Amino acid sequence: MQERVARVGAAAQRGRSSAHGGRRERRTGAGGEVVTHAPRPLRDVTSTATARLSTGIGELDRVLGGGLVPGSLVLLGGSPGIGKSTLTNMALGNLARAGHDTLYVSGEESAEQVRLRAERLAPGALEVPIFAETDLDAVLDTLAEHAPRVCVIDSVQTLRAGELSGAPGAVGQVREVTGRIMELAKERGIAVVLVGHVTKDGALAGPRVLEHLVDCVLQFEGERERPYRELRALKNRFGSTNEAGLFEMRQGGLVEVLDASARFVAEATRAPGSVVLAAMEGSRPLLVEVQALVAPSELEQPRRIVSGLDRNRLALVLAILGRHGGVPVGASDVFVNVVGGVRVDEPGCDLAVALAVASAARGVPTTSFAPGAPGTPRACFGELGLTGELRWVGHPERRLQEAAKHGLSATIAPPDSGAGACEAATLREALRTCFEKIGTPGYVPGHGAGSPRDGSHVPPACASPSRVAQLGP
């Protein structure tokens, strides 16, 4: 108690002295304006809109929040061979073509090796000045001398600060390297992209310790053997972390995939075990195919193999499916895959996993039988609650629009998803809607429908013509 009184007293004294003394530190800024170092209301803080530098790669700009911010540090992480050097080479090439000073610092490959890659890319890539060096001081001197608008350091783990004893890539080294580059970048307004290697499990200490230092952390993911690459923002002081960009690795470098939904829907198999998920990739809807395989297991602990989704989420969905959906798979191996090597990180994927697994377990396709389009892939989205309820997820109208745009009607969705949705309140209801339909084994005409073969079939209520009509964009 006494201590508290003492502290209050001290605070009061501080307040008095500043009020009476009125001595506030005043300094003069570079332009002669008075800079006060006293607290002030946020409304008096002037914020200048920073001009962004476009990398000429739409998907990259979008993930960055509208382009590179001068003086900012971007960490681009990804496993070896995923395409980090290709992406940064291409971006610098475009910037050089647009008349910006650029610099590519390569600590990993020789200048000749970088040139060989640049030859495969758009012509601008060959205009980028390269500095192949691993000594931090040499790199900083060059940066200070040339002061480019944008600089790429490929990679941060290969630079070495001479005064530190650790090997390049050690935590102390990467921290020092980043800290000193950041100082210079902020001072000169250079936008710096640091390339960093992350192993598959993200275990590498180097780049992870840098995450709080840099302004923006981008992760480049995908499977090396597959063409699709996904760029995500894990942290972004200048934009949203929800955005993701999709690329394809081709002969001439990375190509933006702008019609991903159309491709994935066209490739969807429509076989038992397949369903289309209307997902949200940040602010963009994306239709992806989710496939499942359920097979009797010979193991005491059946396999649960998942790719493109969270493993724990699969375990949860399987438990809900067994308990509330009447589809027990406890004695089976279950494999679930998001086709194309895409990763889906959102709760809206639960229903797709459940329907794909149920479809695989029962050997019945999920395809919807809307009038005029028999056998179109079935789209769905929704989160599953532990009591078997189907929960609302964000942006239902955009998901439904995307599905409709690609010819998928009768999208199964949680309640309150809006016009055009084939709404289901519970998993059980969703399963019923999905599988009790014309043309599939076990279909019981529940709407006074004709037989599936006589051509006079009436579609299920959720796909009736009037509701399908509302689906248009």
User: Residues in the site for ligand TYD, rule: CB under 6 A?
Assistant: 78, 80-86, 117, 120, 249, 251-253
Closest CA to 218 of 201, 237, 203: 237
Closest distance to ligand TYD from the beta carbon of 250 (Å): 6
Compare residues 87 and 364 and give the one whose CB is closer to Mg ion: 87
The listed partner (Mg ion, ligand TYD, none) that binds 253, CB under 5 to 8 Å by sort, is ligand TYD
Peptide bond connecting 54 to the previous residue in cis, omega within 30 degrees of 0? no
CA atoms within 13 A on the CB side of 162: 8
Which residue is listed with tokens 């090396």? 224
Closest distance to ligand TYD from the beta carbon of 186 (Å): 26
The listed partner (ligand TYD, Mg ion, none) that binds 117, CB under 5 to 8 Å by sort, is ligand TYD
The listed partner (ligand TYD, Mg ion, none) that binds 426, CB under 5 to 8 Å by sort, is none
The listed partner (ligand TYD, Mg ion, none) that binds 208, CB under 5 to 8 Å by sort, is none
Closest distance to ligand TYD from the beta carbon of 221 (Å): 11
Binding part of the chain for Mg ion, among 16-24, 83-91, 263-271, 408-416 by CB under 5 A, reads 83-91
CA atoms within 13 A on the CB side of 318: 26
The listed partner (Mg ion, ligand TYD, none) that binds 28, CB under 5 to 8 Å by sort, is none
Closest distance to ligand TYD from the beta carbon of 284 (Å): 24
Instruction: Check residue 85 for interaction with Mg ion (CB under 5 A).
Output: yes
The listed partner (Mg ion, ligand TYD, none) that binds 251, CB under 5 to 8 Å by sort, is ligand TYD
The listed partner (ligand TYD, Mg ion, none) that binds 467, CB under 5 to 8 Å by sort, is none
Give, rounded to a whole angstrom, the gap between the first and last alpha carbons of the chain: 67
Residues 6+ apart with CB under 8 A from 111: 130, 132
Compare residues 78 and 420 and give the one whose CB is closer to Mg ion: 78
Q: Tell me how crowded residue 395 is: count the other CB atoms within 10 A of its CB.
A: 17
The CA distance from 231 to 210, in Å, is 18
How many contiguous H segments (helices) and E segments (strands) does the chain have? 13, 22
The listed partner (ligand TYD, Mg ion, none) that binds 362, CB under 5 to 8 Å by sort, is none
Residues 6+ apart with CB under 8 A from 22: none
The listed partner (ligand TYD, Mg ion, none) that binds 158, CB under 5 to 8 Å by sort, is none
Compare residues 83 and 308 and give the one whose CB is closer to ligand TYD: 83
Closest CA to 455 of 364, 365, 374: 374
Compare residues 144 and 234 and give the one whose CB is closer to ligand TYD: 234
Binding part of the chain for Mg ion, among 79-87, 214-222, 254-262, 444-452 by CB under 5 A, reads 79-87
Q: Tell me how crowded residue 344 is: count the other CB atoms within 10 A of its CB.
A: 20
Is 283 strand, coil or helix? coil
Binding part of the chain for Mg ion, among 80-88, 185-193, 332-340, 390-398 by CB under 5 A, reads 80-88
Compare residues 215 and 221 and give the one whose CB is closer to ligand TYD: 221
The CA distance from 240 to 349, in Å, is 21
Which residue is listed with tokens 């690609």? 406
Residues 6+ apart with CB under 8 A from 127: 93, 96, 97
- The three-state (H, E, C) secondary structure of 111-167, written as one string: HHHHHHHHHHCCHHHHHCCEEECCEHHHHHHHHHHHCCCEEEEECHHHCECCCCCCC
Compare residues 17 and 113 and give the one whose CB is closer to ligand TYD: 113
| Pair 333, 399: CB distance under 8 Å | no
Amino acid identity, position 142: T
Compare residues 85 and 401 and give the one whose CB is closer to Mg ion: 85
Could you tell me whether strands 368-370 and 373-376 are parallel, antiparallel, or unpaired per DSSP bridges?
Answer: antiparallel
Closest distance to Mg ion from the beta carbon of 117 (Å): 9
Q: Tell me how crowded residue 120 is: count the other CB atoms within 10 A of its CB.
A: 13
Residue 274 main-chain phi, psi, to 5 deg:
-115, 140
Compare residues 90 and 210 and give the one whose CB is closer to ligand TYD: 90
Closest distance to ligand TYD from the beta carbon of 424 (Å): 43
Residues contacting Mg ion: total by CB under 5 A: 1
Closest distance to ligand TYD from the beta carbon of 85 (Å): 3
Compare residues 252 and 328 and give the one whose CB is closer to ligand TYD: 252
Compare residues 81 and 450 and give the one whose CB is closer to ligand TYD: 81
Closest distance to Mg ion from the beta carbon of 226 (Å): 19
The listed partner (ligand TYD, Mg ion, none) that binds 325, CB under 5 to 8 Å by sort, is none
- For Mg ion, the binding residues (CB under 5 A) are 85
